[in-house]
């Protein structure tokens, strides 16, 4: 049985993997065919994850997992919840500027 960790936000079990870019990615502990993270163990026992593509599809030694950030209830924000209408003194709302400026050139 794989060693599991606990998400500090929702207190659920997660598995930690290392991506191709060397970043850590938490995935739900059970494999899921609807997932988009291919997870396998390398020669040292480290769980590695990557995103399968048409050029490099899912291999026989990999299983699909769902990234935990997609299912974490603590990270989910209801669609009806918006930011407060009144911002504290000294805080600027940059959203209006970003919409007007259109982003970076």
Q: Is residue 103 part of a domain?
A: no
Is pTM beyond 0.75 here?
no
pLDDT tens sequence across 26-35: 999 999 999 9
Answer yes or no: are the C-beta atoms of 68 and 76 closer than 8 Å. no
Q: Is residue 55 part of a domain?
A: yes
User: Quick check: helix, strand or coil at residue 97?
Assistant: helix
Please say if the pLDDT value at position 1 is more than 50: no
Q: What is the dihedral of CA 63, 69, 72, 75, to 10 degrees?
A: -170
Question: How far is Cα 15 from Cα 32, in angstroms, rounded to an integer?
Answer: 13
The structural domain count of the chain equals 1
**Which residues sit opposite 67 in a β-bridge?**
27
Whole domain around residue 68: which residue ranges?
A: 5-78
pLDDT computed for residue 53 by the predictor: 92
Q: Is residue 13 part of a domain?
A: yes
pLDDT tens sequence across 32-66: 999 999 999 999 999 999 999 999 999 999 999 99
pLDDT computed for residue 19 by the predictor: 94
Q: Is residue 19 part of a domain?
A: yes
């Amino acid at each position: 049985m794989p060693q599991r960790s606990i998400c500090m936000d929702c207190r659920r079990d997660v598995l930690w993997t290392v991506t191709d870019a060397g970043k850590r990615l938490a995935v739900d502990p059970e494999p899921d065919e609807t997932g988009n993270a291919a997870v396998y163990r390398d020669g040292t026992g480290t769980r590695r994850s990557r995103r399968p593509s048409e050029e490099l599809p899912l291999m026989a030694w990999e299983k699909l997992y769902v990234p935990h950030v997609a299912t974490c209830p603590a990270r989910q924000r209801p669609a009806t919840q918006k930011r407060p209408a009144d911002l504290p003194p000294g805080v600027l709302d940059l959203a209006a500027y970003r919409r007007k400026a259109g982003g970076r050139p």
